[in-house]
Structure 1
Amino acid sequence: MTAYFIGIDVGTGSVRAALVTDTGEIIKIGVKEIKTWNNQTDFYEQSTDDIWNAIITCIKSITEGVDPEKVIGIGFDATCSLACFDKSGAPLSVSPTGNNDQNVILWLDHRAVKEADEINNLKHPVLKYVGGKISPEMETPKLLWLKRNLKADCWDKAGYFFDLPDFLTWKATDADSRSSCSLVCKWTYEISETDCREGWNKSYFEQIGLDDLAANNWKKIGSLVLPPGTPVGNGLSQSAAAQFGLKAGTAVGASMIDAHAGGLGLIGCIADGIDPAFHTRLGTSKTIQNELLDSILHVCQDIIKKDIQAAKYIAIQDDETTGGTTQTQMVLIIRYVKDGRIYERFSSFLRPMDHTEDGLSAAILELFFFSKLMPNCDILFDQLQSRQLDALKDKVHFTLCLIYILI
């Protein structure tokens, strides 16, 4: 009997679902766009109800005609966005508008730049676990912003804060747990064999003014933390099973960040023109870089060029990974707005070791002109400094380096 798994990927602009056999064959894919509010500069918000309804639509579309008994597991990944709920578990607004549909601060939201700067200036030791510097796209600066700016309407009413991937497993199972993937990467949760620590660092939260989150054993931000893929609760709840048309109790794995899940999936990737044994040579990073480039870039470039012709705003943006070195590889991601929605496409790899700072800036400029990109906003460029960057001003929305170490 063929067994099936369902994979759910919640990206910035859409939900994607795939029905996959137990041998890894993708049978069917469903896609549904999701809404983003951008009511003011640097504020980007979404709705968990909108996202969940899109997931229902996608799952129903890929499982039509499939025996629910044959679906044996579901996995979720999503962007590192902050979802907020009141004490009853209902969506709670994170927006100055007060609209409870807007209960997600999207990962790329930069309202908490001031808070992030203040936290970084305190130099708490926990920051070493997030590259030495916290980003306004991470969750504690956003939580601090909510406490300062929406205290009565949001902070005091809040019962749960979730990273978006963890909201999905909570909604699917009714089990209040979190994945170590999101908490370690974006929330400053510590799991350190070197320091023999696991848990929330109370002194950090006291120092930044969020010590009230420690109440009731950290209930608002999570105390049960599971490794990615660990079975959550008793599996799919009765209500979620009814919504999906699946069997209650179907296994649900602890979630992952979308980029991390993509990296994990790529390890086992098989595509035309790639040596099937390349994943066994993890020490030869140059080989891996070249093969990834060949297998991904040529496919994506045509998609990028077609899509950006109709786009009003275009950007190059990253995940604000810190601590890149000359032994790493820069991944340029084009992010743009089209028909009121945010899209992202892989653009290209650059090797910082092959360029001086001015040379790398020139390479980025060449990318703009080669692709005929016409963005027209300010720059955020933290990883490099050079005179040539001045030429980018008023042309791009963001120009940041996404650094991956391939070993």
Structure 2
Amino acid sequence: MQTTFTPEQLADPSTARSNEILRACVHCGFCTATCPTYQVLGDELDSPRGRIYLIKEMLESGRPADARTVKHIDRCLGCLACMTTCPSGVHYMHLVDHARAHIEATYRRPLGERMLRWMLAKTLPYPMRFRLALALAKLGRPFAGLMPDARLRAMLAMVPARIPPVSRNDDAQSFAPTAPKRLRVALMTGCAQRALNTDINDATLRLLRRLGCEIVIPQGMGCCGALTHHMGREGESHAFAAANIRAFLGAGELDAIVINTSGCGTTVKDYGHMFRSDPLAADAARVAALAVDVTELLARLDLPQGAAKGLRVAYHAACSLQHGQQIKSTPKDLLKRAGFEVVEPADSHLCCGSAGTYNLLQPAISAELKARKVQTLEARKPDVIAAGNIGCMMQIGSGTAVPVVHTVELLDWATGGPKPRALE
């Protein structure tokens, strides 16, 4: 794709990067075949190719974002299926991130929209605030049908029936291995996950300690920055990320930084790009290089072979794992090795509609994608659904009676840990 940015525009690192990405696009349209929103809406502007044209025009002209462009960029899930499909290697993630930051800086949303986004940004990344919000929302859940705004109804519908107690395992501390020591790793405990499901971190700790890992929960670690980053709030997201970089590098010598929420993993692995023009660039690159999904580490640790469990597991591939990190077979291979029968749904490359805050900001499209995903998962007649991302677990779990658990919970159980609570 030809571009006409001026030398002055290209002096900005974000614009220079977007120019590289735009020039890599050859308009082939392969991305439309795997774009969830294009499949649901059938509008070229709701496909990656259409959005690329909108972003190009907006950035080249240097103008503030307009309502039409904002509408179609907001409808993008950021699932990155287009990056897996693209034969030209167009790095759509960095392009849409730049577009969202430009929108946030130049476009004034309606008051209700601004208030909603502010509330999400000031609540979800903070576990205790999020817990309080969940507790208050439970009181309002019986009245969800009376809410005039579909987004408020969606928020109330997503509130879990049970809010887990606070886990002290998430506090800054170290855990000694229960087998001969092999590695020293840090565990990112997340933010929303700490409010929604404390069993995931507990299972991760048990399993990694059993396999010889000393585990550190660093002091000062918090949200990875993804939730605000994907809303274009760069100042907030980079502040979260910078705090984490300092926390991880202050935790001593590490063999890996383990992440069990794939949405966080995709962001942390991109810290090097996020801080490429910042004094923290070298430190950010070090942290990004150490970051691994928990299943990547488990594959290195030779998980024990398990006997057949007689349990049929439908594996849901989170977009941030299969597209964002290109981790596709590893979780399934681990589950099979542990003794589970693993099946996959049709169209496993398509998003479930969670996508961070997307299910709260775009509830109608999200609900359609959830219904499609649940239908394909249930068609495999599973005993349990496994996923590697808390957002996907909450989204799918709100639409099915089949138990939904994290992959690591099943692997922990198969190697001596307790049965996942969702299966009891």
TM-score by length of 1: 0.26
More helix by share: 2
More strand by share: 1
TM-score by length of 2: 0.25
